[in-house]
Homo-oligomer: A and B are copies of this chain.
Amino acid sequence: MVHFDHDDDKPREECGVFGIFGNHEASLLTALGLHALQHRGQEACGITSFDGKRFPSERHMGMVGEHFGGDLRTRLPGHAAIGHNRYSTQGRPMLRNIQPIFADLAGGGFAVAHNGNLTNARKLRHDLVRDGAIFQSTMDTEVILHLVARSSRPRFLERLIDALQKIEGGYALVGLTGKKLIGARDPVGLRPLVLGRLGDAFVLASETCALDIIGAEFVREVENGEIVVISDKGIESHRFTQARPASPCIFEYVYFARPDSIVQGRSVYEVRRRMGHQLAAETMADADVVVPVPDSGVPAALGFSEQSGIPFQMGIIRNHYVGRTFIQPTQVGRQSAISKKHSPNKAVLEGKRVVLVDDSIVRGNTSKKIVQMVKDAGAKEVHFRSASPPIVNPDFYGIDMAAKSELFAAIHTHEEMVRELKVDSLGFLSVPGLYKAIGEPVRNNMMPQFSDHCFTGEYPTPLVDYESDESDKERQLSLLDDA
């Protein structure tokens, strides 16, 4: 059993998804696509293909590159495949909770994988079990499968629409039947899904970087509330909800998406650089050097340096060989300054007034350690800058970001945060600044262009499961090992 050493407390996203239809190396290209999406989930991965008769599947703990090499075309043959990367959460991850999941329905096999979280999955699951459904996992994805299986509609697509109309939440879904590759995105478009093309084949992926790695062209984003159905006859589009403006999750820009991905037509790298510009404009500091918390803080730190004229240097080195399990020694001098992931670069830090730029602050634990490390290395002053606004509300759509009671900015005043972090000053990007960096001159407060509930508390969907009185109401079903 493996566990990553999360000595950071970054928000974690549940998944990356990928699907391809019409290429004889479907599973191999899916593996490559998942590899490019590895940053979206590193603890488990799975691929299901369709070989003309059966749905061969492999699901593994660990990363794509550890398992999906070799004779993949023999192991998972066929012209169509879907795949999934997953972050598991507290407790031990379980093999039966790795996607894609598969079921033999009356009309034939159906495999499905999704990124996101259903906000009424518990209620639906409870109702389904009461009606005799037997669940094989604790994944909310399985709820969708049962809803499809039990729909009374005659055609498969109608049954799927039936199911999607019953669920609430944020999701990007890829599905595979004996004839079709299916993609669907929730009514608000919270979780990302793009459509690409590689020769005659169509591709679905969480981000454009997964199209790039296989040499596919970007076609368009799958829209909120849209189902795309890809088959030998080409591609069809269906809607399962009333049209409404999309409100995608703003955190894709802040942290999740890879910098070389294009999200809603915008370069993630450039948005982050502009967040740095905006951050410098809003929270300038008198300092000698701008230092990013690598790797995620680099673009914003470059932007901060460009705007402020303060030189950019790599004052923190990231060790990329982070292993699986590591016990801390009990007695080591100045223990607090020790990290297996980050090392201070004294030559840059010693005697300097440092602007430290990170993408966000979640629980604050890592931030504290990094500040301490920078000071131990001899920094004269530390000015901490977060390239996103204060995170004061939890997410319920597939991001594991801690409960409200654990969020640093939710439970401390600005002064307390400065004191806790032991910094000389602390600055956050403002919500308007964030919108501006993204390229929206102003936030539409009546119908915000992005789901920014973590900063504003305005949730774009009903939160059925979380409005009850249950003690663990803040836990998302998809983040639980065992419901």
Interface window among A27-35, A176-184, A242-250, A465-473: A27-35
Interface window among A100-108, A116-124, A360-368: A100-108
Q: Which residue on B lies nearest to A5, using beta carbons?
A: B65
Instruction: Fill in one digit per residue for A318-345: 1 if any B CB lies within 8 Å of its CB, else 0.
Output: 0111111111011111110110100111
Given A35-B340, A344-B260, A345-B269, decide whether A325 and B134 contact each other with a Cβ distance below 8 A: no
Query: A307 CA to B431 CA in the complex, in Å?
Result: 37
| Contact-size category for A | 35 or more
Residues of the B chain whose Cβ atoms lie less than 8 Å from the Cβ of A136: 134, 136
Query: A136 CA to B347 CA in the complex, in Å?
Result: 44
CB contact between A105 and one of B134, B198, B209, B319 (< 8 Å): that residue: B134
Do B209 and A343 touch (CB < 8 A)?
Answer: yes
CB of A388 within 8 Å of the partner chain: no
Q: Which residue on B lies nearest to A127, using beta carbons?
A: B106
CB contact between A314 and one of B65, B299, B317 (< 8 Å): that residue: B299
Residues of the B chain whose Cβ atoms lie less than 8 Å from the Cβ of A72: 327
CB of A212 within 8 Å of the partner chain: yes
CB of A224 within 8 Å of the partner chain: no
Residues of the B chain whose Cβ atoms lie less than 8 Å from the Cβ of A330: 25
> A146, A325, A347 — which one has the most chain B CB atoms within 10 A of its CB?
A347
Query: A170 CA to B269 CA in the complex, in Å?
Result: 44
Do B134 and A133 touch (CB < 8 A)?
Answer: yes
CB of A424 within 8 Å of the partner chain: no
Given A105-B134, A132-B150, A343-B258, decide whether A215 and B332 contact each other with a Cβ distance below 8 A: yes
Query: A134 CA to B302 CA in the complex, in Å?
Result: 52
Residues of the B chain whose Cβ atoms lie less than 8 Å from the Cβ of A132: 106, 133, 146, 149-151
Within A145-182, which residues are at the interface with B (CB < 8 Å)?
Answer: 145-146, 149-151
CB contact between A329 and one of B32, B65, B324, B332 (< 8 Å): that residue: B32
Residues of the B chain whose Cβ atoms lie less than 8 Å from the Cβ of A325: 65, 69-70
Given A146-B132, A314-B269, A332-B29, decide whether A327 and B35 contact each other with a Cβ distance below 8 A: no
CB of A66 within 8 Å of the partner chain: yes
CB of A9 within 8 Å of the partner chain: no
Instruction: Fill in one digit per residue for A55-71: 1 if any B CB lies within 8 Å of its CB, else 0.
Output: 00000000111111111
Nearest CB of B to A131, in Å: 8
Nearest CB of B to A167, in Å: 16
CB of A233 within 8 Å of the partner chain: no
Residues of the B chain whose Cβ atoms lie less than 8 Å from the Cβ of A343: 36, 209, 212-213, 258, 260
CB of A348 within 8 Å of the partner chain: yes
CB of A19 within 8 Å of the partner chain: no
CB of A278 within 8 Å of the partner chain: no
Q: Which residue on B lies nearest to A270, using beta carbons?
A: B347
CB of A386 within 8 Å of the partner chain: no
Query: A347 CA to B72 CA in the complex, in Å?
Result: 33
CB contact between A66 and one of B65, B260, B324 (< 8 Å): that residue: B324
Residues of the B chain whose Cβ atoms lie less than 8 Å from the Cβ of A262: 346-347
Residues of the B chain whose Cβ atoms lie less than 8 Å from the Cβ of A145: 134
> A131, A321, A327, A331 — which one has the most chain B CB atoms within 10 A of its CB?
A321
Residues of the B chain whose Cβ atoms lie less than 8 Å from the Cβ of A345: 259-260, 267, 269
CB of A298 within 8 Å of the partner chain: yes
Given A65-B322, A132-B149, decide whether A215 and B334 contact each other with a Cβ distance below 8 A: yes
CB of A129 within 8 Å of the partner chain: yes
Q: Which residue on B lies nearest to A106, using beta carbons?
A: B130
CB of A135 within 8 Å of the partner chain: yes
The 10 closest A-B pairs by CB, nearest first: A65-B323, A267-B347, A69-B325, A132-B150, A215-B333, A38-B321, A136-B136, A132-B149, A103-B134, A260-B345
Q: List 18 A-B contacts (CB under 8 A).
A: A5-B65, A35-B323, A36-B319, A39-B321, A42-B321, A63-B323, A65-B326, A69-B325, A70-B325, A71-B327, A132-B146, A132-B151, A134-B149, A212-B344, A214-B338, A258-B317, A269-B314, A298-B314
